[in-house]
Amino acid sequence: MPTTPSPPESRSTVRTLLRLWPYVRPVRARLFTAAFVAIVASCIGLVIPLVLKWMVDGPIADRDPAGVWLGALYLLLLGLAEALLFGFRRWLVARPLSHVEAEMRAGLYRHLQRLPVAFHDRWPSGQLLSRATTDLMLLRMFLAFPLTFLLVNGVTILVGVIIMLVQDWTLGLVILVPAVPVMVTCVVFEKRYSGAARLAQDQVGDLTTVVEEGVLGIRIIKGFGRHRSQARAFRELAGKLRGTELRKARLLATILGVIVTLPELAIGAALVLGAVRVADGSLSAGTLVAFLSTALALRWPVDSIGFLLAMSQEAATATERYFEVMDAEPESSGAAGSRAAGAMGVPSLERSREWGRVGAAAPRSAERRVQPPGESRNPALTGCLPQRGHPQPKRHDCPREGGDGGDGLIFHGVTFRYPDAPADTAPVLDRIDLRIHPGESLALVGATGSGKTTLTALVPRLHEVTEGRITLNGTDITEMSREELRSRVAVAFEEPTLFSASVGENVLMGGGDGEEDLERALAVAQADFAHALPQGTDTQVGEQGLSLSGGQRQRLALARAVVGRPDFLVLDDPLSALDVHTEAAVEAALRRVLADTTALIVAHRPSTVLLADRVALLSGGRITAVGTHHELLRDNPEYAHLMSGAPAGNQEDDER
């Protein structure tokens, strides 16, 4: 399983949360209005103690029942106004914040589609899922409640303290005594809780990855009886998450204990001191009632500081995690422009002229073998000249010997190294020079791990070449937009991936204009089984297409590749999951398709190789031989070994 990328260096909570401003800006008017309404509602709550003071020192002291009823009416109206304003605030923020969450989630998904394959190779899918679900839910909750009430409660506490100091500054100072230890506790809490919140959210991502893998791999788990070990692994991760959540709970309990206890002690001290002063006549009973009522009204704003800070820290870590993905560099939508083509130290244009060299890694027997009649010393031109015993091959533009040519698919000194590979490791592909002529099919053969799939992934720019260049009909593929390139090049991958959609929708993802193209593609791929499904081509295939057999999935993937009638076709071992009878039928249909397109076919079996006009042998990241299937069987021991399983033989004997 890919490891979770390390989190970036921590930044302040405020700076982190400010990154949400571009998403919040479109709804800022309603958010500011909601905050203002909440402040007004809280201030109305602080007017209630002043009404109580008037009632105690006035109608109650004067034994005036009418005044008491009037005061009660004031209190009722103030309470009703406070409730209505808070309800209005909730209505103001509900719809726009749901929109903000939806926009952020849609933006994240769009960005994920534009990120290079190398990014997805590094990141566990569960980490991405948790960012798109749990983290965005935390952000919506923060914008809806803590963001507003950190401001509202701050203003409420400030106004309340001013009211208490105006009423009696001595009692006000008593109430303010806990302020310093509370603020120190908040600073310490913020730092510690931030780390725990980040760890918990990362662990949720790891747990999501395990669940996803368990669901997608349920056949393997059941088939090998590994449910206990998988459950044990899940329990271990869940136990770690539980421990982190308990740590968060302990931190929150600590700050709540300090925030609740110290103000309560201060209120108790103010009550005792105020009662003594009322008794000696230096303070009115109404003032003491109003003071204590104001202090009690501030309990909620003060007590809420703990969990508001906790929610803010969780929102800050969720923001960090969200932008870890959004900050990743996407594939450019247009031409790539300049890139590190010469990063390995040799200019790519110079390498593109080295058509005759097959590479230092080639076996000596391959380098020194006798050149068959009709074969060029340039491997890229092999098969363009008449061969003994074979008719003139079909070619639209066979270039002159030693010429660079212009049309077709050409690899010019292509070197590739994975971006995260150590600098001292050998490249996966090393100075590949290869040409596929227009209308020609080239089979790519090599041992497991030789780089065949990587080479095919370079054509649609799923990976960018480290050095050299690839041209399509004379145009460097990096000068095309990816949309244009991928509209001209279709790919059928070794692992057929289907989506939770109908058969027809899965096939037509490759292009095509409708039912006619769909039927043609299904016929080419020998996927007529689709018509026998319960709803025909409208049948939902289910997640990953696991409701179908491996061969059925592969045939639908092949149909998807050919449905758009691409100019260039890249097939990565397209027939590996088929039985011999179906394979023969698909091959016959493919030959008709390949007659009208240019194709690069990764092949492991002779039957697949025979679909191609020529064969290129990839060994150790280098093209070591190019020719027809029969020529390579005759002249190249490594190729013969791969195709027939016969021993490779003694290369020194071959050299004699």
Q: Domain-by-domain residue ranges, the chain?
A: 13-326, 348-655
pLDDT band at 388 (very low <50, low <70, confident <90, very high): very low
Pick from 499, 610, 509: nearest CA to 561:
509
Per residue in 469-513, pLDDT (tens digit) is 898 888 888 888 888 888 888 888 777 778 888 888 888 888 777
Q: Classify each residue of 198-232 as buried b or exposed e, where b means 16 or more C-beta atoms within 10 Å of its C-beta.
A: bbbbbbbbbbbbbeebbeeeeeebeeeeeeeebee
Rounded mean pLDDT of 26-44? 86
Can you tell me whether residue 420 is helix, strand or coil?
coil
| pTM for this prediction | 0.70
Q: Is the pLDDT of residue 380 over 80?
A: no
- Residue 517 CA to residue 242 CA, distance in Å, equals 53
* Cβ neighbours around 155 below 10 Å, total: 16
Q: Is the pLDDT of residue 405 over 70?
A: no
Can you tell me whether residue 10 is helix, strand or coil?
coil
Q: Is the pLDDT of residue 91 over 90?
A: no
Residue 562: what pLDDT?
83
Of 20-29, 91-100, 464-473, the range with the lowest mean pLDDT is 91-100
Q: Is the pLDDT of residue 215 over 80?
A: no
Of 97-106, 194-203, 228-237, 533-542, the range with the lowest mean pLDDT is 533-542
Rounded mean pLDDT of 622-643? 87
The CATH-assigned architecture of domain 13-326 is Up-down Bundle (1.20)
Asked if 558 and 529 count as a contact pair (C-beta separation under 8 A), the reply is no
Residue 345: what pLDDT?
35
Per residue in 249-288, pLDDT (tens digit) is 998 888 888 888 888 888 888 889 888 888 888 888 888 8
Q: Looking at the DSSP assignment, which residues form a beta bridge with residue 602?
A: 444, 572
- The CATH number for 348-655, chosen from 2.60.40.10, 3.30.420.40, 3.40.50.720, 3.40.50.300, is 3.40.50.300
Per residue in 146-178, pLDDT (tens digit) is 888 888 888 888 888 888 888 888 888 888 888
Of 414-418, 479-483, 643-647, the range with the lowest mean pLDDT is 643-647
Pick from 408, 366, 373: nearest CA to 390:
373
